[in-house]
Amino acid sequence: MSASSPNPLADLIAEKGVLLADGATGTNLFAAGLESGEAPELWNESNPEKIEALHQGFIDAGADIILTNSFGGTRQRLKLHHAQDQVFELNKKAAELARSVARKADRKIIVAGSVGPTGELLVPLGALTYDEAVSAFTEQLEGLKAGGIDVAWIETMSAPDEIRAAAEAATSLGLPYVYTGSFDTAGKTMMGLHPKDIHHVVDGLPQRPVAVGANCGVGASDILSSLLDMTDADPAATIVVKGNCGIPEFRGTEIHYSGTPDLMANYAHLAINAGAKIIGGCCGTSFAHLAAMRQALDNHVQGPRPTVETIVEAIGPMRNKVAGDGSDIPRRERRGRRG
């Protein structure tokens, strides 16, 4: 691991107050020529210059944190592309590409190793055992660690057990870790996790996360509502929000995200006022959107803590109802790809 501190995020937050994470991986790689159904992770080997350009674009836009191109880097996901025997190499390369770009920057850039869900359901809903999940995430993170990541970034998760398995893998390798859920189903994750309960998913593990939060989901208003729940539940926690760029809409066969740079700047202001310490963008978030968010962070004047009503007034309507306390557990796991 390249970082000398056990918590490089805390060090940079202490220095800068609020950090800007990067934007979309998938959206921007599709714009660069990635075909639908193609694994972005394979581009680490076949098109490394395009992955470096992605990272460089986000750094130029003002990002403090860049995520490696390794979201689908477990053997379960790579098996879909007959690349399950390249887990270590593809993840190591993902980290090396991000690190090489970060090293050239004129400021401290944190390289976060993106770890997405396996796409498999854990026992008892599916066939993947907890120990198999830990093993899969350990294999992925060994590659990311060898390539020089500062922190493991476990994201777009739905199942608490899967978060815990990835956290256990990071801890076993001595890596600090972040985890975020995707609260895309009536204000909860698809597997029923409520935002307020995000803090307790890894209770009992020997190492606590350096940050927790939300990413992806549906729209920017919804993720800010989840943020309010998370900061209410633990005001002292370091919270991440990495929201989609507005609302996804189909235009013919293409997905278009409704968010403008101004909307994402407003989202950033509201996120700071609601207590987030790390703010970024997910699906649809371009370099231009991120640059507007950078300007918002740099020019922010602290305002009152927003309410759901003031968020809707500023950003637009929520797509989901606010999370209730029911315990409906859907039967399928999120299989989406970040960004």
CB under 8 Å to 52, separation ≥6 — which residues? Answer: 97, 100, 101
Q: State both tokens at 150.
A: 């500062």
Give CA 245 to chain center in angstroms. 13
The answer to whether the annotation marks 245 as part of a ligand binding site is: no
Rounded Cα distance between 157 and 44, Å, is 23
Residue 11 φ/ψ, nearest 5 degrees? -60, -45
Angle between helices 287-298 and 48-61 (to 10 degrees): 30
Burial class (CB in 10 A: 0-12, 13-18, 19+), 186: middle
Contact 243, 220 (CB under 8 A): yes
Exposure string over 269-299, b if 16+ CB within 10 A, otherwise e: bbbbbbbbbbbbbbbbbbbebbbbbbebbee
Residue 276 φ/ψ, nearest 5 degrees? -70, 145
Residue 71 φ/ψ, nearest 5 degrees? -55, -45
The answer to whether the annotation marks 216 as part of a ligand binding site is: yes
Q: Which residue has the tokens 């870790």?
A: 177
Burial class (CB in 10 A: 0-12, 13-18, 19+), 250: exposed
Contact 96, 137 (CB under 8 A): no
Q: Is 6 helix (H, G, I), strand (E, B) or coil?
A: coil
DSSP H stretches of helix in 62-159: 75-78, 87-103, 130-147
Which residues on neighbouring strands pair with residue 181, listed in sequence order? 157, 214
Binding site, by residue number, is 216, 282-283
Binding site for Zn(2+), by residue number, is 216, 282-283
